[in-house]
Structure 1
Amino acid sequence: MMQRLNIAIVTETYPPEINGVANTMLHLAEGLAERGHRMQLVRPRQHADRDQSATGSITPYLVPGLPIPGYHGLRFGLPVYWRLRRNWHRSTPDLVYIATQGPLGHAALAAARALKIPTVTGFHTQFHQYSQHYGLGILTHRIADTLRHFHNRSDTTLVPTVDLQTELSAGGFQNVQVFGRGVDVERFSPVWRDPDLRRAWGCEDDTLVVLYVGRVAAEKNLDLARESFAAILSDRPDARFVLVGDGPELAHLRRDFPDFICTGSKIGAELSAHYASGDLFLFPSLTETFGNVVTEAMASGLPVIAFDYAAAHAHIEPWVNGVTLTPGDRTAFIAASRQAAQDQASRRQMGEAARQTAEGISWERVLGVVEERLFEVINRQRGTEAGHATLAATSE
């Protein structure tokens, strides 16, 4: 019988915030709760938060935070070491999962280690690569060293792909295991295509809509998406470029490219409709740990043009259900975008195949693997016979 665990998840981002890490943490917390585990969710208090009442088996533990410059609505948690240590001393989790490496994450790791609580960290963001896009390339190696030191203090680091596991292990990260990603194929589906939305974009039924969904920021390499769309326009002058998302570069794009349709962030049914109402998805980022938008676009029936790493490498077969290019090859990315835009029949076939691929990417399967990883960490630290004083004995 599977034992129930008391698990604390520490994250500095969570819905209604809109980003891949927040989305993954939602699936992790809710999925493990549905499997019978008791979840404590430690995160910064947001302006919209009213109380700390539990929702089902998920109990929020809200801590003070401060705004993140350039990212409206996002906050980082303060390093509340003693508050966490007192809370976890009174009610000790069986395991702490730390998703983010900000001040709150560092405090949580220190508190968990001081109390000898098994600890897992998630490598969700390539912060060391981000530095190159903000004029801080000189700090890349130092940031990588800091990340390695942080993660190596945990019992296991979980990453979304085998490629990233190999890369980090070669770079001195220890005990790196894979925690993949699923996709909600009911929420993201071609059935949500919306002719009225397309008309609002100024599009006819046969207008080519090129789509990007994600943060509008320097590290997303959006200049390449813009260059690719310019090449597409040479063949399809009626094509429209729709960018869904928010970020520090959004005002610049709206000002310099008034023909682009910049919708801002979308959630829920609106996001589903925006995905499904596109025809071709461009994703030129080179800084992803996974890239949830790739599988969301595939589930929505769109062929994706992306570089061959992370989610694209894991799930795209070139010119079958999308297109992948050698990372960093700008010329090839532009050429592939143009070719896919020209060939409507191929584009539709790839979109249908992308949907079929996405239907096999189940969050239920992913959560089963994560659950196994968490039990492995607990058993490795404490021994399968010793157990833990607070381990819930209830069987499912």
Structure 2
Amino acid sequence: MQEHTIGNTVTRLSQASGRRLHITIVSETFPPEINGVANTLRYLCLGLRRRGHRVTIIRPRQRHESTGEVSEAGECLFSQEHLVTGLPLPGYGELRFGITRPGYLASLWKRRRPDAIYVATQGPLGVAAVSAARRAGIPVSSGFHTNFHAYSRYYGAGFLEKLLCAYGRWFHNRTALTLVPTRKIARTTADMGIHSTSLWSRGVDCSRFTPHKRDQTLRQQWGLQPNDRAVLYVGRLAPEKNLGMAVACFERLRGLHPNARLILVGDGPMRKRLAERHPDYVFAGTRRGEDLARHYASGDIFLFPSKTDTFGNVVTEAMASGLAVVAFDDAAASEHIRHEDNGMKARLPDDEGFVDHALRLADQPTLMNRIRTQARLDALELDWAAQVDQFEYLILNHPQRNHSNAVQQQGISLL
């Protein structure tokens, strides 16, 4: 991994330059959709716009949207938006992948050339964008946001894992730089054969996600008394999230604490089956904004059973909300949780350890409260502004950027 660091000096240089750049972000998913990629892009775009940069978004048209091709600045997330044809993503009916020709993108970029292009997803739209950028000699970077090759085994398509891994290697090695969210993912991508990577982590909005939004009325609606435990899960209700582990863990916990409740915030293909089997669970559905923050803050213990997430923004959101997180030593937990200090984490193969950690928190309120306090304090250090600074520096100062410009000047095709 070629690891770039950013400090106060780099930040001052970036801000002092005062240069307003045109950055194009290509993604199959974008707000108001709810998932980790869309959430990350929301804060990234807000940060870039606040720095005065021009941000153009290229994404698939969603089912509810009109046939118009271009939208102008919505919610201050972008300067301009181009929508391409969208088709349903198998297994993720609410999401779509984009279809367009590289020539269409090339014509856009000929009229208004970006300084840099960031491709956040590796679907057909991403492939077209990388091809068009390489032809034009525009610096193009990519993000490793989703473990699609690992997801295949949860959808009865494990035989495709090696093929998807090879595809990911081909896709990312066609970009100058791949941004990865954790050191562990950096090792994973190296094992896949992806060559040039740099660490770009995530921040958390501690003004939105805060313990101050705890709502006793909401807890009463969940059927809880003041000293009862609210065990929270936030995320997609889908097989790759390892929800069976969360259910097994909660049932063990409830055996010792009968008044505990499991609250699941989110939606997905497993919701119907879970609701049929566990009608006593609280299915809060999809929540956004302040309502989501209120749900976080009203919990006590947060279960993050996933073993496939590349990061898991919900972990840091739970920490910022003052929850005691139980997770496996992976993704955001591997970076930000110190066992028995600001959270609890188990080794990836240790399902029993995961359950034991949750039971300890439920049994020992002093430990739980100490961890919750420390989690909030540590989350306050995870600033989105610093992550946006780092993103800006990485995509604009990677060594291969100069190579791309030199190739363009020589008129050589990189395809």
Bin of the TM-score, shorter chain as denominator length: over 0.9
What is the DSSP-based 3-state SS (H/G/I as helix, E as strand, rest coil) of the residue aligned with 1:73? strand
What is the DSSP-based 3-state SS (H/G/I as helix, E as strand, rest coil) of the residue aligned with 1:181? coil
Shift of 1:53: 1.7
2:249 is aligned, of 224, 228, 232, to 228
* Counterpart check, 1:53 vs 2:53: no
1:273 is aligned, of 294, 300, 307, to 294
* Counterpart check, 1:26 vs 2:42: yes
Structure 1 equivalent of residue 205 of structure 2: 184
Instruction: Describe the superposition over 1:238-295 as per-residue Cα deviations: whole angstroms up to 9, x where unpaired.
Output: 1000000111111111111111111111101110011000000011100011010000
What is the DSSP-based 3-state SS (H/G/I as helix, E as strand, rest coil) of the residue aligned with 2:92? coil
Does the CA contact (< 8 Å) of 2:139 and 2:405 recur in 1?
A: no
Q: Which runs of 4+ in 1 moved over 6 A?
A: 383-386
* Counterpart check, 1:163 vs 2:171: no
Structure 2 equivalent of residue 247 of structure 1: 268
Structure 1 equivalent of residue 59 of structure 2: 43
* Counterpart check, 1:99 vs 2:120: yes
Structure 1 equivalent of residue 28 of structure 2: 12
* Counterpart check, 1:382 vs 2:398: no
2: distance between equivalents of 1:342 and 1:185? Answer: 28
Does the CA contact (< 8 Å) of 1:181 and 1:366 recur in 2?
A: yes
What is the DSSP-based 3-state SS (H/G/I as helix, E as strand, rest coil) of the residue aligned with 1:212? strand
Does the CA contact (< 8 Å) of 2:28 and 2:96 recur in 1?
A: yes
1: distance between equivalents of 2:329 and 2:276? Answer: 32
What is the DSSP-based 3-state SS (H/G/I as helix, E as strand, rest coil) of the residue aligned with 1:247? coil
1: distance between equivalents of 2:53 and 2:338? Answer: 37
Does the CA contact (< 8 Å) of 1:126 and 1:288 recur in 2?
A: yes
Structure 1 equivalent of residue 7 of structure 2: none
* Counterpart check, 1:209 vs 2:235: no
1: distance between equivalents of 2:87 and 2:387? Answer: 33
Structure 1 equivalent of residue 152 of structure 2: 131
Instruction: Describe the superposition over 1:41-82 as per-residue Cα deviations: whole angstroms up to 9, x where unpaired.
Output: 111122444561224552111112122344353222113322
Structure 1 equivalent of residue 171 of structure 2: 150
Shift of 1:384: 12
Output the amino acid matched with 1:231.
R
Output the amino acid matched with 2:141.
V
1: distance between equivalents of 2:212 and 2:64? Answer: 32
* Counterpart check, 1:82 vs 2:90: no
What is the DSSP-based 3-state SS (H/G/I as helix, E as strand, rest coil) of the residue aligned with 2:152? helix
Output the amino acid matched with 2:284.
T
What are the within-5 Å matches in structure 2 for residues 242-321 of structure 1?
A: 242-321=263-342
Output the amino acid matched with 1:362.
D
Gaps of 5+ in 2: 1-15, 410-415
Does the CA contact (< 8 Å) of 1:9 and 1:40 recur in 2?
A: yes
Output the amino acid matched with 1:381.
R
* Counterpart check, 1:237 vs 2:253: no
Output the amino acid matched with 2:180.
V
Indicate the RMSD between aligned Cα atoms, in angstroms.
1.9
What is the DSSP-based 3-state SS (H/G/I as helix, E as strand, rest coil) of the residue aligned with 1:62? strand
Does the CA contact (< 8 Å) of 2:166 and 2:192 recur in 1?
A: no
Gaps of 5+ in 1: 390-396
1: distance between equivalents of 2:396 and 2:90? Answer: 38
Shift of 1:380: 3.7
Does the CA contact (< 8 Å) of 1:286 and 1:328 recur in 2?
A: no
Instruction: Describe the superposition over 1:270-329 as per-residue Cα deviations: whole angstroms up to 9, x where unpaired.
Output: 100110000000111000110100000000000100001111011111011110110121
Does the CA contact (< 8 Å) of 2:173 and 2:195 recur in 1?
A: yes
* Counterpart check, 1:371 vs 2:392: yes
1: distance between equivalents of 2:192 and 2:82? Answer: 34
2: distance between equivalents of 1:26 and 1:75? Answer: 18
Does the CA contact (< 8 Å) of 2:116 and 2:396 recur in 1?
A: no
After superposing the two structures, state which structure 1 stretch, 194-203 or 287-296, moved more.
194-203
Shift of 1:37: 1.2
What is the DSSP-based 3-state SS (H/G/I as helix, E as strand, rest coil) of the residue aligned with 2:24? strand
TM-score, structure 2 as length reference:
0.90
Shift of 1:224: 0.6
Determine what percentage of the aligned residue pairs are the same residue: 44
1:347 is aligned, of 357, 365, 368, to 368
What is the DSSP-based 3-state SS (H/G/I as helix, E as strand, rest coil) of the residue aligned with 2:233? strand
Structure 2 equivalent of residue 392 of structure 1: none
What is the DSSP-based 3-state SS (H/G/I as helix, E as strand, rest coil) of the residue aligned with 1:226? helix
1: distance between equivalents of 2:64 and 2:208? Answer: 24
What is the DSSP-based 3-state SS (H/G/I as helix, E as strand, rest coil) of the residue aligned with 1:157? strand
Output the amino acid matched with 1:9.
I
Report the CA distance shift for 1:120/1:307 in structure 2 as closer, same or farther (over 3 A).
same
